């Protein structure tokens, strides 16, 4: 990883280094998706793809209680894992 991109030894692009919160901000501020669609795309879909939707990906009784709180500028204010605050700005 160098210069904001991840490349293989031969220089071929290996993938994105974009942080999820930055991607969320770009999707909403760029009017690519609504807030509701963005939340779904960044929570429900990944949980289903990783086969962990039974415990992650939505706010439902019995699930792990993982949650990210964003401010009005879509910057991370707080992160909860299993219902406990693990980060707070």
What does the alpha-carbon distance between residue 42 and residue 76 come to, in Å, rounded to a whole number?
14
Amino acid 16: pLDDT:
82
Q: Which residues of the chain have pLDDT under 70?
A: none
pTM tops 0.95, yes or no: no
Terminal CA-CA length for the chain: 27
Strand partners, 52: none
Core vs surface per residue 49-74: b (16+ CB within 10 A) or e: eeeebeebbeeeeebeebebebeeeb
Amino acid 59: pLDDT:
93
CB 51 within 8 A of CB 41: no
Amino acid 32: pLDDT:
85
């Amino acid at each position: 990883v160098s210069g904001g991109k991840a490349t293989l030894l031969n220089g071929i692009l290996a993938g994105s280094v974009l942080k999820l919160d930055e991607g969320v901000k770009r999707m909403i501020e760029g009017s690519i998706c609504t807030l509701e669609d963005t939340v779904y795309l960044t929570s429900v879909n990944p949980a289903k793809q990783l086969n962990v939707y039974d415990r992650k990906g939505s706010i439902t009784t019995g699930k792990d209680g993982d949650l990210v709180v964003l401010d009005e500028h879509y910057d991370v204010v707080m992160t909860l894992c299993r219902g406990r605050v693990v980060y707070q700005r």
